[in-house]
Structure formats: structure tokens, C-alpha cells
Amino acid sequence: MRDLITTLVRSALERAIKDGEVTLPVPADVTVERPRDPSHGDWATNVALRHAREAKMPPRELAEVIAARMSGHPDVAAVEVAGPGFLNVRLSPHALQRVLTEVRRSGAGYGRLTLGAGEKWQVEFVSANPVGPMHVGHGRWAALGDSMARVLEHAGYAVEREFYVNDAGVQMDIFAASVSARYLELCGVDAVFPEDGYRGAYIVDIAREIHAEEGDAWADAPAAEREAHFKEKAYAQVLEHLKRVLHGMGVEFDVWFSERTLHEPGPDGTSEIERAIADLRAAGHIYEKDGATWFASAAFGDDKDRVLKKADGAYTYFAADIAYHKDKFDRGFDRVIDLWGADHHGYIKRMEAAVAALGHPGKLTVVIGQLVNLFRGGEVVRMSKRTGEMVTFEDLLDEVGADAARYFFLRRSTDQPLDFDIALAKEQSAENPVYYVQYAHARICAILRKAAGAETDDVSVDIAATASSLVSDDAPLALLDAEAELALMRKLAEMPEVVETAAVQLAPYKLTRYAEDLAAAFHQFYTQCRVVSDDPDLTAARLYAVDATRIALKTVLGLVGVSAPERM
């Protein structure tokens, strides 16, 4: 629709220039946008303002010339010159009614774009250390990353979802030692709990499970042997937990990437980490100092150079991260998106530097997800993996449900810390916007059941089948010209633009806002326009509009990752 209006404006201006009415080179920057105030029409352009000086005409006069050449088009109801020289374009009912046809023809593919042109993108998110249960922040990033991936897919990208498992390194050792200490306690052996160990109750649970399975068998084993064994047992349990919780909220990963594989030697005897450093060295970005191996990241915009291999011979976490990102780009992604917690934002510059040094400048986008502050009826709930004082994300899901959790997590812009009140999310009231949107969908389904002659709360009715048999393709859409009907169609027309913005800005929260707007437009329509009446033509036309709204609502909820209930 935007393209259509842009073309109309441009060709009107071009004709005016050709006819000698305006003296101006044909401008390249003719753009139309949505006016903030809907009373200003559907589309507006400031071309006249921008080029008045060049054309040596007052802006309003130039605008009048363009307006005069735009009127008469069947999709345009009115073109007005407003304010200092804006051109406001109002779409005709006919143009809006056509949107309904487009929605119904596209079905679940409504709003799909070719923006991505099939480019291969990767979204890596959650990537929680496998040393404990998912916390609420991980839940937000899961909702965010998954919805981002869904939007990008809708916008035409080929998207892969990846979870990076930090299963190597010191955290895993501490984790194993913590489980081991709890296990020994269960065996009745006096054990010293590691000073920096994980104190959460879940560690005890894991130890108990191992003890139930294997008894005291490991009590007398050498510590190193026991911990090595427990590490794998406990790791497997946590990984199972992560997969179960994520699956439970509808998030599925294509790849679970193990950090260990970066450390293991390949067929040629070198690890991926070593090969990544060798690449950087060959490109001249590596030097030795104070017994350590350094990456000259400052040359790529980092604050200072970074150590990759410490004087003691161990690789830093950053070295593994570089190898990991090299691996990603070796897999052929056109763009890699990392979703990190806010506490990692200090790493963005060095990671971007590394990616640039590896020969992929600008192909990494790091999105920072701010933290979640958990409340319960106004009281702060603490979340700490170390003290064990925490609400796990699984607990939260059990309590508020996946729909409410996902919806709440997405409602804020990514770089905004989120206050999540458990009591509020549970509340089934007007304060809870997820129900507002879902309710609109449920209401539509009730109308369709009613129109089909079924009981309005008959759950056995197949809505999609009912809709397709009930709604006639040649319904007289021209009858739809009431204010509430036009407003609903306008809102439906916006969806492709919303998908585009959400994809370009990696901002799924735009979808929740749109979903609420669309639901509001429907609720208003519902209040003002009786759908099933004894006027068969009007009923047919309105059923058509209602079904288009159902499709769009279901689609946008799908992009958010929230269900569209047929009855509430």
C-alpha cells in the first residue's frame, strides 16, 4: 500500500514537472509515511516542504499542484494540503476493502515479506550455563529470541535458532564439585562444601537423584574421578531441564552447540580455538606479550587489546567465543544475531572486533536483553543462582502459563529492564493485555459458531472449516463503509508494515502493540456493528471482515508465540 501511494505521489509530481508547471529535477526521495494523527488521513508526505525552496514555490502551492494531479484515482478518497505544506492522502473504502481479500487469500501468510530475500540468518539466544535451572531472565530472552526468529522468518529470512552450551571450563568444575559435596553429605560422609560452590537447593536434588540411582558407590572414589562422573550426570540432567522448559513454552532450537567441541582436537590435531587464533595470526592481529597471547582488538574499535591465551597456557573464554563465531560464519550465515544479557554488554565491542578481524565486518548484531525484576504483589523477589534463593523460570511458567509469560516478556522494548509482577500476570483482568487480544479472537470464533448455527460455546466446531464454508468469496464488501469497519480494515492493512519494522529493528514488542491495536479495532467494531443479522448481504460482508480479522490476529499472535484460543 505504501508503495502504491509513493508511486502515485511521484508520478503526480513527475507529470507536473513534465508539463512545465513545476521547475524541479525529479526528486529521488519521495517518501510517504503514516501520520501520527489518524485524522490526517492514511498517508502523508512532506515532498512539497522539502522541495519548495528548490522549486521556488511556496510549499502549500507546490502541494496543491501535486494534489490536483492525484485526485481521481479509485484508491484515493481525498488528497488534502495541510499545515505548512503536508499532503494528506485518504484511502477510498474500495482500497481498504481490498485488504480483506488480501488477508483471506494469504491466510497464515498474511504480512509475509520478501525483505530477507532468503538470506541465511542465525539467532543465538538463551545460551544459559548448564549448571542450574533457567531463571526468569533466560525466559525473557527465550521469548525474545524465538519471536525475533519468527518475525524474521515471516519477513523472508531463512533463520536458524541456536543455543550455545557453555559446557567447558571452570563453572562446570565448580558445579561438579558442588554436586559431589552434596552427594557425600547424603552418604553421611563429612564433606567440605566448596567456597565458591553453587548453594541452590537444586544441587541437592541432583545429588539425591544420583544417590538414589548409584547409592554410596562413589563415596570412596578419588575426588577427581567422582567429580568427573558427576559432572556428566548433572550436566545431562540440567540440559534435560533446559530442553523441557523451553519446549514447554514453545521454543525449539535447531542447534545445541557444545563449547567442548571448540576445545577438542580435530582430525588435523588442532582445536577450533587454535585454528581461529592461527587465522587471526595469519592476518597479523596476534602478538605475544608478558607470556600471553594477545588479540589486537583495539585496532578494530575495542577499548584495548585482549588476552586469548593466558600465561598459564589456558585459553580465555573470549578465545572460545572467537572460535565459536568463526564456526558460525564458516557455516555460511549472512548475519549472526547474538542475544545477550545486559551484564555482558561490555563484551560487544571485542566480539565485533573479532568478527571483523575474521573477515566478516558488520555481520554480527548483538542485541542486549535487559534483566527482569521479579515482583510478587509489589514485593521484590530475589533471583540468585548462588544463594539458591530464587524463583526458577519453570516455577513462573507453572504459575502464570506460557502465554502470559511470553506476552509480558515481549511487551517492552529489548533495552528496557522489565518489572514482572507475578500476581499481575496471573490476574485475569483488564490489566492483563494478553487476555484482551486473545479475547478478541475468541469473540470472533463465537460469532462464526453463531453464524454457522451452532451453540456459541460449542468447542467441537472446527473454526477454520466453518469459516471457509461460511464466508463467501464474493461477499458484497462495498457495504462495509461504517467508521468502525473502515478503522478495522485500516488496522489490518498496517500489518505488513509492522512485520517489516519489527524485523528491521529486531523489535518483537512492536507486534504486541499492534496486536493490541488490532484487538481494540475489532472490539470497537463488535460494539458498533452487529455481524449476524437478518440482512443477508450485510451479514455476508461482515463475516468476511470478521474472518479476515481472525486470520490476522491468529497470525500476529503466532509471531509473538502466544496461542489464539477459540473460546475463553
Partner RNA sequence: GCGCCCGUAGCUCAGCUGGAUAGAGCAAGAGACUUCUAAUCUCUAGGUCGGGGGUUCGAAUCCCUCCGGGCGUGCCA
In Å, how far are 198, 438, 467 from 458, measured between CA atoms?
51, 18, 15
At which residue does the C-alpha cell 494528506 appear?
88
Residue with Cβ nearer RNA (252 or 389): 389
* DSSP class per residue in 290-338: TTEEEE-GGGGT-SS-EEEE-TTSPBPHHHHHHHHHHHHHHTT-SEEEE
Burial of 471 (0-12, 13-18, 19+ CB in 10 A): buried
Residues 118-137 that bind RNA (CB under 7 A): 129
Query: Using the rule CB under 7 A, which residue among 435, 479, 485, 518 binds RNA?
Result: 435
512 contacts 148 by C-beta, under 8 angstroms: no
Q: How far is the CB of 112 from RNA (least distance, A)?
A: 21
Q: How far is the CB of 268 from RNA (least distance, A)?
A: 25
Q: How far is the CB of 430 from RNA (least distance, A)?
A: 4
Residues 316-335 that bind RNA (CB under 7 A): 316-318
Residue with Cβ nearer RNA (252 or 419): 419
Neighbouring C-alpha atoms within 13 Å toward the C-beta of 397: 23
Residues 482-541 that bind RNA (CB under 7 A): 507, 509, 513, 516, 520, 523-524, 526-532
Q: Which region among 145-153, 222-230, 277-285, 340-348 touches RNA (by CB under 7 A)?
A: 340-348
The binding track of 376-405 with respect to RNA, each residue x by CB under 7 A or -, is ------------------------------
SS (H, E, C) 34-56: CCCCHHHCCEEECHHHHHHHHHC
156 contacts 347 by C-beta, under 8 angstroms: no
Residue with Cβ nearer RNA (331 or 345): 345
Instruction: State the Cα–Cα distance between residues 426 and 446, nearest whole angstrom.
Output: 24
Q: Which region among 12-20, 136-144, 331-339, 343-351 touches RNA (by CB under 7 A)?
A: 343-351
Q: How far is the CB of 161 from RNA (least distance, A)?
A: 22
Q: How far is the CB of 373 from RNA (least distance, A)?
A: 9
Verify binding: residue 297, RNA, rule CB under 7 A.
no
Residues 442-461 that bind RNA (CB under 7 A): 442-443, 445-447, 449-451, 456-457
Q: How far is the CB of 371 from RNA (least distance, A)?
A: 7
How big is the site for RNA, counted in residues (CB under 7 A)? 83
Instruction: State the Cα–Cα distance between residues 208 and 230, nearest whole angstrom.
Output: 12
Q: Order of strands, edge to edge, in the sheet holding 306-309?
A: 286-289, 292-295, 306-309
Verify binding: residue 568, RNA, rule CB under 7 A.
yes
Residue with Cβ nearer RNA (88 or 97): 88
Residue with Cβ nearer RNA (158 or 532): 532
Instruction: State the Cα–Cα distance between residues 554 and 562, nearest whole angstrom.
Output: 9
Q: How far is the CB of 444 from RNA (least distance, A)?
A: 8
Residue with Cβ nearer RNA (240 or 287): 287
Query: Using the rule CB under 7 A, which residue among 314, 380, 423, 478 binds RNA?
Result: 314
| 485 closest CA partner among 564, 427, 435, 549 | 549
Query: Using the rule CB under 7 A, which residue among 343, 379, 389, 537 binds RNA?
Result: 343
| 122 closest CA partner among 156, 144, 149 | 149
Residues 401-430 that bind RNA (CB under 7 A): 412-413, 415-419, 428-430
| 131 closest CA partner among 259, 208, 236, 247 | 236
Residue with Cβ nearer RNA (187 or 348): 348
Task: Cite the beta strand spans of 92-148 per DSSP E.
Answer: 120-124
Instruction: State the Cα–Cα distance between residues 527 and 487, nearest whole angstrom.
Output: 13
Residue with Cβ nearer RNA (252 or 455): 455
Q: Which region among 14-22, 185-193, 309-317, 354-362 touches RNA (by CB under 7 A)?
A: 309-317
Residue with Cβ nearer RNA (333 or 435): 435
Burial of 306 (0-12, 13-18, 19+ CB in 10 A): buried
Verify binding: residue 290, RNA, rule CB under 7 A.
yes
Q: How far is the CB of 357 from RNA (least distance, A)?
A: 17
Determine how many CB atoms are found less than 10 A away from the CB of residue 384: 11
In Å, how far are 118, 306, 339, 346 from 343, measured between CA atoms?
33, 19, 12, 7
Q: Which region among 36-44, 133-141, 203-211, 224-232 touches RNA (by CB under 7 A)?
A: 36-44
Q: Which region among 134-142, 200-208, 273-281, 307-315 touches RNA (by CB under 7 A)?
A: 307-315
Q: How far is the CB of 453 from RNA (least distance, A)?
A: 11
> Which residues, at least 6 apart from 317, have a Cβ–Cβ distance to it below 8 Å?
169
Residues 74-113 that bind RNA (CB under 7 A): 82-84, 86, 88
Q: Which region among 119-127, 148-156, 310-318, 473-481 touches RNA (by CB under 7 A)?
A: 310-318
| 22 closest CA partner among 31, 12, 30 | 12
448 contacts 546 by C-beta, under 8 angstroms: yes
Q: How far is the CB of 391 from RNA (least distance, A)?
A: 18
Verify binding: residue 46, RNA, rule CB under 7 A.
yes
Residue with Cβ nearer RNA (281 or 567): 567
Cell of 552: 490476522
* DSSP class per residue in 501-552: HHHHTT-THHHHHHHHHHHHHHHHHHHH--SS-S-HHHHHHHHHHHHHHHHH
> Which residues, at least 6 apart from 39, have a Cβ–Cβ distance to it below 8 Å?
none
Beta bridge partners, 43, equal 89
Q: How far is the CB of 309 from RNA (least distance, A)?
A: 8
Residues 474-493 that bind RNA (CB under 7 A): none
Q: How far is the CB of 256 from RNA (least distance, A)?
A: 18
Query: Using the rule CB under 7 A, which residue among 15, 347, 381, 481 binds RNA?
Result: 347
Q: How far is the CB of 470 from RNA (least distance, A)?
A: 12
Q: How far is the CB of 344 from RNA (least distance, A)?
A: 6
